[in-house]
Chain A
Amino acid sequence: DQQVKQNSPSLSVQEGRISILNCDYTNSMFDYFLWYKKYPAEGPTFLISISSIKDKNEDGRFTVFLNKSAKHLSLHIVPSQPGDSAVYFCAASGGGSGAGSYQLTFGKGTKLSVIP
Protein backbone atom coordinates (compact mmCIF):
# COMPACT_ATOMS: atom_id res chain seq x y z
CA ASP A 1 0.00 0.00 0.00
CA GLN A 2 1.65 3.18 -1.20
CA GLN A 3 0.99 5.95 1.30
CA VAL A 4 2.53 8.71 -0.79
CA LYS A 5 1.67 8.79 -4.48
CA GLN A 6 3.05 10.82 -7.34
CA ASN A 7 0.83 9.80 -10.21
CA SER A 8 2.75 11.57 -12.95
CA PRO A 9 6.04 9.83 -13.69
CA SER A 10 7.12 12.66 -15.97
CA LEU A 11 6.34 16.27 -16.86
CA SER A 12 7.63 18.53 -19.63
CA VAL A 13 7.42 22.31 -19.37
CA GLN A 14 8.70 25.19 -21.47
CA GLU A 15 11.35 27.40 -19.93
CA GLY A 16 9.79 30.40 -18.20
CA ARG A 17 6.43 28.71 -17.66
CA ILE A 18 5.06 27.26 -14.43
CA SER A 19 5.79 23.68 -13.39
CA ILE A 20 3.23 22.01 -11.13
CA LEU A 21 4.12 18.72 -9.50
CA ASN A 22 1.45 16.88 -7.57
CA CYS A 23 1.46 14.48 -4.66
CA ASP A 24 -1.31 12.64 -2.82
CA TYR A 25 -1.13 10.85 0.50
CA THR A 26 -3.39 8.47 2.36
CA ASN A 27 -2.08 8.46 5.93
CA SER A 28 -3.90 11.09 7.98
CA MET A 29 -1.11 10.91 10.61
CA PHE A 30 1.32 12.65 8.27
CA ASP A 31 1.89 16.20 9.48
CA TYR A 32 5.07 17.29 7.74
CA PHE A 33 5.72 17.21 4.02
CA LEU A 34 8.88 17.76 2.03
CA TRP A 35 10.00 18.02 -1.56
CA TYR A 36 13.37 16.78 -2.69
CA LYS A 37 15.11 17.24 -6.03
CA LYS A 38 17.42 14.57 -7.38
CA TYR A 39 19.93 14.79 -10.19
CA PRO A 40 21.41 11.60 -11.70
CA ALA A 41 24.20 10.04 -9.61
CA GLU A 42 23.49 12.38 -6.71
CA GLY A 43 21.49 12.03 -3.53
CA PRO A 44 18.16 13.82 -3.06
CA THR A 45 18.54 17.50 -2.18
CA PHE A 46 16.05 19.09 0.18
CA LEU A 47 14.02 21.77 -1.57
CA ILE A 48 11.13 22.96 0.57
CA SER A 49 8.82 21.71 3.29
CA ILE A 50 5.47 22.48 4.82
CA SER A 51 3.87 21.71 8.14
CA SER A 52 0.26 20.60 8.33
CA ILE A 53 -0.61 23.76 10.25
CA LYS A 54 0.03 25.77 7.08
CA ASP A 55 -1.48 25.63 3.62
CA LYS A 56 1.30 27.40 1.75
CA ASN A 57 5.03 27.86 2.01
CA GLU A 58 7.14 29.88 -0.37
CA ASP A 59 10.87 30.03 -1.02
CA GLY A 60 11.94 32.03 -4.02
CA ARG A 61 10.68 30.36 -7.19
CA PHE A 62 9.32 27.40 -5.24
CA THR A 63 5.93 27.27 -3.52
CA VAL A 64 4.33 24.28 -1.88
CA PHE A 65 0.58 24.14 -1.33
CA LEU A 66 -1.11 21.75 1.07
CA ASN A 67 -4.79 20.76 0.99
CA LYS A 68 -5.31 18.62 4.06
CA SER A 69 -8.94 17.82 3.39
CA ALA A 70 -8.00 16.41 -0.01
CA LYS A 71 -4.73 14.92 1.28
CA HIS A 72 -2.99 16.60 -1.59
CA LEU A 73 0.05 18.79 -1.99
CA SER A 74 1.65 20.42 -4.95
CA LEU A 75 4.96 22.07 -5.78
CA HIS A 76 4.91 25.10 -8.06
CA ILE A 77 8.07 26.30 -9.77
CA VAL A 78 7.84 29.73 -11.36
CA PRO A 79 9.51 30.51 -13.68
CA SER A 80 10.86 27.11 -14.67
CA GLN A 81 14.50 26.97 -15.73
CA PRO A 82 16.45 24.28 -17.60
CA GLY A 83 18.49 23.65 -14.44
CA ASP A 84 15.29 22.57 -12.72
CA SER A 85 15.26 19.44 -14.86
CA ALA A 86 15.50 16.61 -12.32
CA VAL A 87 13.43 14.01 -10.52
CA TYR A 88 11.27 15.48 -7.77
CA PHE A 89 10.28 13.38 -4.79
CA CYS A 90 7.46 14.12 -2.42
CA ALA A 91 7.96 12.82 1.13
CA ALA A 92 5.91 12.80 4.31
CA SER A 93 6.44 12.16 7.99
CA GLY A 94 4.43 12.32 11.16
CA GLY A 95 3.04 10.60 14.18
CA GLY A 96 4.94 9.28 17.13
CA SER A 97 7.86 11.01 18.78
CA GLY A 98 11.63 11.02 18.66
CA ALA A 99 13.26 9.42 15.64
CA GLY A 100 9.94 7.96 14.54
CA SER A 101 8.53 11.36 13.71
CA TYR A 102 11.44 11.97 11.34
CA GLN A 103 11.03 8.81 9.30
CA LEU A 104 10.13 9.72 5.75
CA THR A 105 7.77 7.96 3.36
CA PHE A 106 8.55 8.81 -0.23
CA GLY A 107 6.61 8.87 -3.46
CA LYS A 108 8.11 7.34 -6.59
CA GLY A 109 9.09 10.68 -8.05
CA THR A 110 8.22 12.82 -11.07
CA LYS A 111 10.83 13.52 -13.72
CA LEU A 112 10.63 17.16 -14.73
CA SER A 113 12.08 18.27 -18.04
CA VAL A 114 12.29 22.00 -18.68
CA ILE A 115 12.67 22.66 -22.38
CA PRO A 116 14.71 25.73 -23.39
Chain B
Amino acid sequence: SAVISQKPSRDICQRGTSLTIQCQVDSQVTMMFWYRQQPGQSLTLIATANQGSEATYESGFVIDKFPISRPNLTFSTLTVSNLSPEDSSIYLCSVAGLGQPQHFGDGTRLSIL
Protein backbone atom coordinates (compact mmCIF):
# COMPACT_ATOMS: atom_id res chain seq x y z
CA SER B 1 0.00 0.00 0.00
CA ALA B 2 0.99 3.67 -0.44
CA VAL B 3 3.21 5.36 2.11
CA ILE B 4 1.45 8.44 3.46
CA SER B 5 3.35 11.21 5.19
CA GLN B 6 1.33 13.74 7.13
CA LYS B 7 2.84 16.91 8.62
CA PRO B 8 2.90 18.22 11.26
CA SER B 9 2.22 15.27 13.53
CA ARG B 10 1.01 17.61 16.24
CA ASP B 11 0.72 21.32 16.93
CA ILE B 12 -0.52 23.74 19.54
CA CYS B 13 -2.04 26.91 18.12
CA GLN B 14 -3.49 30.15 19.37
CA ARG B 15 -7.14 31.03 18.92
CA GLY B 16 -7.88 32.91 15.74
CA THR B 17 -4.85 31.61 13.85
CA SER B 18 -4.78 28.98 11.10
CA LEU B 19 -2.93 25.71 10.62
CA THR B 20 -2.11 24.05 7.33
CA ILE B 21 -1.66 20.28 7.31
CA GLN B 22 0.18 18.54 4.50
CA CYS B 23 -0.41 15.07 3.13
CA GLN B 24 2.20 13.55 0.80
CA VAL B 25 1.87 10.14 -0.84
CA ASP B 26 4.73 8.20 -2.38
CA SER B 27 2.70 7.23 -5.46
CA GLN B 28 -0.11 8.69 -7.52
CA VAL B 29 -3.51 7.98 -6.04
CA THR B 30 -6.96 8.46 -7.46
CA MET B 31 -8.67 9.76 -4.37
CA MET B 32 -7.66 11.70 -1.29
CA PHE B 33 -9.86 12.46 1.68
CA TRP B 34 -9.65 14.49 4.87
CA TYR B 35 -11.20 13.32 8.14
CA ARG B 36 -11.56 14.72 11.62
CA GLN B 37 -11.68 12.76 14.84
CA GLN B 38 -12.89 14.78 17.78
CA PRO B 39 -12.13 13.49 21.29
CA GLY B 40 -14.11 10.35 22.04
CA GLN B 41 -15.78 10.39 18.63
CA SER B 42 -15.55 8.45 15.41
CA LEU B 43 -13.79 9.65 12.30
CA THR B 44 -15.90 12.10 10.32
CA LEU B 45 -15.30 12.90 6.66
CA ILE B 46 -14.60 16.58 6.05
CA ALA B 47 -14.16 16.56 2.29
CA THR B 48 -12.92 14.78 -0.79
CA ALA B 49 -9.85 16.51 -2.23
CA ASN B 50 -10.22 16.75 -6.00
CA GLN B 51 -7.13 17.15 -8.13
CA GLY B 52 -7.15 20.47 -9.94
CA SER B 53 -10.58 21.55 -8.76
CA GLU B 54 -12.47 22.56 -5.64
CA ALA B 55 -12.89 19.98 -2.91
CA THR B 56 -16.26 18.36 -2.27
CA TYR B 57 -17.37 19.12 1.28
CA GLU B 58 -19.64 17.07 3.51
CA SER B 59 -22.59 18.55 5.30
CA GLY B 60 -21.46 20.75 8.16
CA PHE B 61 -18.07 21.61 6.66
CA VAL B 62 -17.43 24.70 4.56
CA ILE B 63 -14.59 25.88 2.37
CA ASP B 64 -14.03 29.11 4.30
CA LYS B 65 -13.26 27.16 7.46
CA PHE B 66 -11.47 24.17 5.85
CA PRO B 67 -9.86 25.22 2.57
CA ILE B 68 -8.29 22.28 0.76
CA SER B 69 -5.85 22.14 -2.09
CA ARG B 70 -4.80 19.22 -4.26
CA PRO B 71 -2.42 20.42 -6.95
CA ASN B 72 -1.45 16.93 -8.14
CA LEU B 73 -2.08 13.22 -7.58
CA THR B 74 0.38 12.86 -4.68
CA PHE B 75 -0.16 15.93 -2.50
CA SER B 76 -2.92 17.73 -0.64
CA THR B 77 -3.24 20.32 2.10
CA LEU B 78 -5.98 21.04 4.60
CA THR B 79 -6.10 24.39 6.35
CA VAL B 80 -8.11 24.84 9.52
CA SER B 81 -8.90 28.55 9.71
CA ASN B 82 -9.80 30.92 12.53
CA LEU B 83 -9.04 28.31 15.16
CA SER B 84 -11.24 27.90 18.22
CA PRO B 85 -11.10 25.33 21.05
CA GLU B 86 -13.77 23.26 19.25
CA ASP B 87 -11.21 22.60 16.50
CA SER B 88 -9.05 20.57 18.87
CA SER B 89 -9.07 17.20 17.10
CA ILE B 90 -7.02 14.73 15.17
CA TYR B 91 -7.05 15.45 11.45
CA LEU B 92 -6.29 12.59 9.08
CA CYS B 93 -5.79 12.26 5.38
CA SER B 94 -6.55 9.06 3.54
CA VAL B 95 -5.94 7.83 0.01
CA ALA B 96 -7.50 5.20 -2.19
CA GLY B 97 -7.06 3.75 -5.63
CA LEU B 98 -9.99 2.59 -7.69
CA GLY B 99 -11.58 -0.43 -6.06
CA GLN B 100 -9.14 -0.27 -3.17
CA PRO B 101 -9.72 0.35 0.54
CA GLN B 102 -8.66 3.66 2.01
CA HIS B 103 -5.32 3.94 3.74
CA PHE B 104 -4.64 6.58 6.34
CA GLY B 105 -1.80 8.78 7.41
CA ASP B 106 -0.84 8.95 11.07
CA GLY B 107 -2.83 12.12 11.63
CA THR B 108 -2.19 15.59 12.99
CA ARG B 109 -3.09 16.16 16.62
CA LEU B 110 -4.20 19.79 16.99
CA SER B 111 -4.68 21.56 20.31
CA ILE B 112 -5.93 25.12 20.66
CA LEU B 113 -4.87 27.38 23.52
A43, A99, A103, A107: which contacts B42 (Cβ < 8 A)? A107
The answer to whether A99 touches B48, judged by C-beta atoms less than 8 angstroms apart, is yes
For A34, the closest partner residue in chain B by CB is B101
Q: Dominant SS at the A interface?
A: mixed
A86 at the interface (CB under 8 A from B): no
Q: B residues within 8 A CB of A103?
A: 33, 45, 48, 58
The answer to whether B33 touches A43, judged by C-beta atoms less than 8 angstroms apart, is no
Query: How many residues of B are in contact with the other chain, CB < 8 A?
Result: 26
A4, A46, A49: which contacts B103 (Cβ < 8 A)? A46
Q: Within the assembled complex, what's the spacing in Å between the Cα atoms of A42 and B101?
A: 18
Within 8 A of B (CB), among A78-116: 89, 91, 99, 102-109
Known: A34-B101, A102-B31, A103-B33. A44 touches B43 (CB 8 A): yes
Contacts from A to B (Cβ < 8 Å): 2, 4, 34, 36, 41-46, 49, 89, 91, 99, 102-109
Contacts from B to A (Cβ < 8 Å): 1, 4, 6, 31, 33, 40-45, 48, 50, 56, 58, 92, 94, 96, 101-107, 109
